[in-house]
A and B are shown apart, each in its own frame.
Chain A
Amino acid sequence: KAGVTQTPRYLIKTRGQQVTLSCSPISGHRSVSWYQQTPGQGLQFLFEYFSETQRNKGNFPGRFSGRQFSNSRSEMNVSTLELGDSALYLCASSLESSGGPVQFFGPGTRLTVL
């Protein structure tokens, strides 16, 4: 099976702009989670979608939003970009298993805000 894919891999934006990142989960996976990775804060959970519904949300401002489509693909959007939004954004998909979901991560989208 193909792994989790994320597009684009790199993005450069300026402050105030908005950006949309895309994630395609592993075929058959219905849960998609998003994480922000920065050198200072490490890996922080943004939100999780399951069957097109947001199941969990992290402590990020409302400028960060997401959605999931019927084919389980997910997008996240960041509006009014700030310099501090520069980060690697990771997407993970998971398959429900008897021990709970196991996350499979994509390669990430590197966002640079100038």
Chain B
Amino acid sequence: AQRVTQPEKLLSVFKGAPVELKCNYSYSGSPELFWYVQYSRQRLQLLLRHISRESIKGFTADLNKGETSFHLKKPFAQEEDSAMYYCALKGSSNTGKLIFGQGTTLQVKP
């Protein structure tokens, strides 16, 4: 079964601390993995995708096929990073269907 698991509902850190939002997936083939972010009163938007291997707003994520994980990391959290973060999986390249995790609320305290 295709599944995305984000074990933490809430992650609270202080400004300047490192952040790691965990994401594990279950998929038998070669998935595409994404991180989406939803800031307060804004729409859901793409943060990054594993295929592009880029850093956005200081965030990076590496696909670890052995551990079936796609954790999101940032070395120094900023208050403006406070938001809801969703990990998502897309199984087939010929579809837009996304399977989302339950989401993790990141709270960065001053």
Contact = CB atoms under 8 A, between A and B. Distances in A.
Interface of A: 3, 31, 33, 35, 42-45, 48, 50, 55-56, 58, 90, 92, 94, 99-108
B32 A42 contact: no
B86 A43 contact: yes
B98 interface: yes
Given A42-B103, A102-B46, A106-B43, A31 B86 contact: no
Q: Residue among B95, B97, B99 with the most chain A CB within 10 A?
A: B97
A82 to B, nearest CB: 22
Contact of B45 (A55, A94, A100, A105): A105
Q: Which interface class (under 10, 10 to 19, 20 to 34, 35 or more) fits B?
A: 20 to 34
Contacts of B22: none
Contacts of A94: 96
Contact of A107 (B43, B101, B103): B43
Contacts of B44: 90, 105
B10 to A, nearest CB: 14
Closest 5 pairs between A and B when the two form their complex, measured CB to CB: A43-B100, A105-B44, A100-B93, A101-B96, A99-B51
